[in-house]
C-alpha cells in the first residue's frame, strides 16, 4: 500500500511516517522541508498547493492520502486558517477527481467549540476560533463533495498532544524549550481544565492504524478517551523529563472557548486498533 503524507515534516508527520513504515507501507512524504523525515520514505519536496493538480501523478498514484499539512495550527486565530481554506479544498478535490481511493484528513476537537463531556461523531459543532471554523468548514465540504463518489473518507479528529519536540508550539514544546534555556519558572493558567491527552507517538500509531484499513470511516476520534486535568498532565510531563521548572499558576487567563472537561469517544479507534 502506498500512502501520500502531506505535512510529513511536521510535528505529527514524522511520527506518522515512522508508524506507517513500521507497518511495511510505502510512504511518499510531501513537504517544503523534509529534513526530519525517516530515510525509508520516498521524499517529495514541493509546495503541495502549487502542485495540487499534478500531485497524484508526482506521488506515483498512491492508494491513500493522509493530509496533515496545516499552517499555524497552534495560533488559533491566525488569518491563515481562512486564507488557506480553499487551497486545502482544491488539493483534496484534485486528488479525489484523479481517482485516489482513500482520503484521511487531520481534524481537531476545536471544530466542536465549547462542549462539556464526551465528543462523538454526532456532537454538534460551533467552533469559536478561526482554526476551528476552518477545520469544520473543510470537513463539511469534504463530506458533502464526496457523497456518491467511490472514495473512503476518514476524518481524524485530534485532541491534546503530548511531546517534547522543541519545534512544537504546544505547551509541552514550550516547556521543553524553557528548560533548554535554563528557565526555572513557567507562566501558566489555572490548569484546572480537563482534556483528552495522547502522546505524539501513540497518535502516530493510531493514525497509521486508521490508514491501514477502510472498513471504518467518517469521523474517527484519535484520542485516549480519558479526561485529565491540564495541571496534572503538565506536572507529570515536567517530572518525567526531570525539568527544574515550577508552574506560575494564574499568569494567563483560561481561554473562554475551552471547556472545563472534554474528551473524545474512543469507540471507533479502539475497534480499529483491535483489528490491527
Residue in the block written with cell 486528488? 95
Closest alpha carbon to 203 in 135, 156, 262, 134: 156
Q: Residue 223 has which C-alpha cell?
A: 484520542
Residue in the block written with cell 506507517? 20
Q: Is 131 a catalytic residue?
A: yes
What is the CB neighbour count within 10 angstroms for residue 17?
A: 28
In angstroms, the CA 165 to CA 208 distance is: 20
Beta strand 194-199 with 227-229: parallel, antiparallel or unpaired? antiparallel
Cα dihedral angle (34, 133, 172, 183), rounded to 10 degrees? 100
Cα Dmax for the chain: 57
Q: Which of 11, 89, 114, 131 is catalytic?
A: 131
Catalytically annotated residues = 131
Amino acid at each position: 500500500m502506498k500512502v501520500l503524507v502531506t505535512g510529513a515534516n511536521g510535528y505529527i508527520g514524522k511520527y506518522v511516517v515512522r508508524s506507517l513504515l513500521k507497518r511495511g507501507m510505502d510512504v511518499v512524504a510531501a513537504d517544503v522541508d523534509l529534513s526530519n523525515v525517516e530515510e525509508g520514505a520516498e521524499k517529495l519536496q514541493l509546495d503541495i498547493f502549487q502542485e495540487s493538480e499534478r500531485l497524484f501523478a508526482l506521488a506515483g498514484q498512491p492508494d491513500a492520502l493522509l493530509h496533515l499539512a496545516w499552517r499555524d495550527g497552534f495560533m488559533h486565530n491566525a488569518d491563515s486558517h481562512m486564507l488557506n481554506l480553499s487551497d486545502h479544498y482544491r488539493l483534496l478535490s484534485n486528488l479525489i477527481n484523479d481517482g485516489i481511493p482513500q482520503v484521511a484528513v487531520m481534524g481537531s476537537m476545536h471544530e466542536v467549540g465549547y462542549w462539556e463531556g464526551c465528543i462523538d461523531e454526532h456532537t454538534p459543532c460551533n467552533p469559536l476560533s478561526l482554526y476551528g471554523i476552518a477545520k469544520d468548514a473543510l470537513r463539511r465540504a469534504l463530506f458533502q463533495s464526496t457523497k456518491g463518489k467511490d472514495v473512503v473518507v476518514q476524518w481524524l479528529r485530534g485532541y491534546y498532544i503530548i511531546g517534547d519536540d522543541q519545534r512544537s508550539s504546544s505547551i509541552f514544546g514550550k516547556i521543553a524549550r524553557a528548560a533548554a534555556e535554563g528557565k526555572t519558572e513557567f507562566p501558566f493558567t489555572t490548569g484546572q481544565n480537563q482534556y483528552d491527552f495522547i502522546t505524539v507517538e501513540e497518535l502516530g500509531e493510531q493514525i497509521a492504524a486508521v490508514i491501514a484499513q477502510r472498513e471504518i470511516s467518517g469521523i474517527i476520534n484519535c484520542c485516549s478517551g480519558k479526561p485529565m486535568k491540564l495541571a496534572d498532565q503538565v506536572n507529570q510531563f515536567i517530572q518525567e523529563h526531570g525539568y527544574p521548572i515550577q508552574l506560575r499558576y494564574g499568569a494567563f487567563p483560561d481561554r473562554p472557548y475551552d471547556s472545563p472537561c472534554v474528551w473524545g469517544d474512543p469507540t471507533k479507534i479502539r475497534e480499529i486498533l483491535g483489528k490491527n
